[in-house]
Structure 1
């Protein structure tokens, strides 16, 4: 079995990094740009080419190009019964099937970029009729990059996008906000960066070790009338939690809108 990647962007690099480090798989990346092909080959030690070789039923084709470029990228692609995995947001199984000549051996994946360091979270949805063996193959590929979660309904891909797919950006946003606050308190940029990163790392490690509810952990380090309490109350006054929830809802709505746009174009 060879895992072929159509497209050599950031998500391809993230998944390939996981496969190379944590799985025994033959990987082949297809990308039009010669410079990027050379860089990927050197970085990961995998086969690369400008055009997609002939596929076999035992192979896996990972569609990893931008949604707006997918139809053009799939023109002339003969899956020959290969399992298809798509990491493109907004493109439903029906849309992908039309792009690929009617194949329904498709698994959609909503990963995130933390796959690059083996800490990714991926939501998977299999088209109706996809065999259990195919599901295991898809799960094994994504498990090499972190956690893999199966979704019962395709519509849940949108929710996955709003939480973990785009969620890393939310965390980076909060990290940057804490760094900026640290600098405002007189720390230099490098120290502010290190303090913010270490604080987030410690919080995640503590949450994993204890397994306790996040709200309980927050309460445990918040003494009433103390300094932390003052900060938390200020966050509440400014509606920080509500703003995060609204951001997730906006992300999900945009994902749904993109899906509708592609369905209307097909």
Structure 2
């Protein structure tokens, strides 16, 4: 990937993507990150060797790709600052801001822009991310490929053709790391109550989660079959799973994901109206 990429914002997610791009072979000299103060940029410039800039418009003037990595609440101000330059240079714009729809961002940037919305998740910080992407009609196939390559630097990529489905992506991957952290928290607490030390309980629970996820990723069997393979008739695992089913775990998960998706839709309406 020889494209020149500018990140507007140098927070954790932007830094993770930049690090992943460099690890995948992108030259640091092709990457630029911006922040309001040079002191915020000094660590990333020193550690990764990329260009840094406090002037957003100057930073995007020569970019092939502009990644909007700022908080949704300040996105409008940032976009309106960049509008004239982006209208002249027409880069691919990728937004990783939650809740703001493509049409709203495009309008703030002056209209008719090639724009991709991306919903990453926090495991991107350790190179194990899962990102959902949506492209508006102005995005070319070459630009879709470019966006895929960019986000694959920190994990897997799945495209959706209907922007409204990004709410479901939020529910199944964007917010979902917290679901698993809650499960780990609950398992640790239960194991401690049964007599294990907190350190031992945590290490065992985390390793088991990692092992289960790795098995699911590498196996050609679906999760239901993998679950069944752990269970013996009348055994300990069957008893535990039976208890979870009787407690309506599936309904709890489905309701929680629906609440998450609904909130994502509400945020889009709230942020877009400002």
Same-fold status (TM-score > 0.5): yes
Cα offset, 1:164, TM superposition: 0.9
What residue number does 2:230 align with?
Answer: 221
- Choose from 71, 77, 80 the match for 1:72: 77
TM-score under structure 2 length normalisation? 0.91
- Give CA deviations for 1:53-99 in whole Å, capped at 9, x if unaligned: 25347521100111111112223212121111001111111100121
Equivalences for residues 235-254 of structure 1 within 5 A: 235-254=244-263
Question: In structure 1, how many angstroms separate the alpha carbons of the residues matched to 2:114 and 2:43?
Answer: 31
- Choose from 86, 106, 119 the match for 1:110: 119
SS at match of 1:75: helix
What residue number does 2:193 align with?
Answer: 184
- Choose from 176, 181, 206 the match for 1:167: 176
Equivalences for residues 12-91 of structure 1 within 5 A: 12-25=14-27, 26-52=30-56, 53-56=58-61, 59-77=64-82, 78-79=85-86, 80-91=89-100
Which 10-residue stretch deviates more, 207-216 or 62-71? Answer: 207-216
- Give CA deviations for 1:180-232 in whole Å, capped at 9, x if unaligned: 22211222222111101111111122223322111111111112221111111
Matched, 1:6 2:8: yes
Residues 14, 114 of structure 1: 8 Å contact kept = no
Equivalences for residues 116-265 of structure 1 within 5 A: 116-265=125-274
User: Against the structure 1 CA distance between its residues 209 and 136, is the aligned structure 2 distance closer, same or farther, given a 3 Å change threshold?
Assistant: closer
- Listed as ranges, the gaps of 5+ residues in structure 2 are none
Larger helix fraction of residues? 2
- Listed as ranges, the gaps of 5+ residues in structure 1 are none
Question: In structure 2, how many angstroms separate the alpha carbons of the residues matched to 1:251 and 1:9?
Answer: 24
User: Against the structure 1 CA distance between its residues 181 and 33, is the aligned structure 2 distance closer, same or farther, given a 3 Å change threshold?
Assistant: farther
Residues 17, 117 of structure 1: 8 Å contact kept = no
Kindly report the root-mean-square deviation, in angstroms, between the aligned alpha carbons of the 2 structures: 1.7
Question: In structure 1, how many angstroms separate the alpha carbons of the residues matched to 2:219 and 2:91?
Answer: 43
Residues 18, 117 of structure 1: 8 Å contact kept = no
Question: In structure 2, how many angstroms separate the alpha carbons of the residues matched to 1:162 and 1:68?
Answer: 21
SS at match of 2:163: coil
Cα offset, 1:262, TM superposition: 2.4
SS at match of 1:155: helix
Matched, 1:96 2:100: no
Residues 17, 116 of structure 1: 8 Å contact kept = no
Work out the number of aligned pairs and report it. Answer: 265
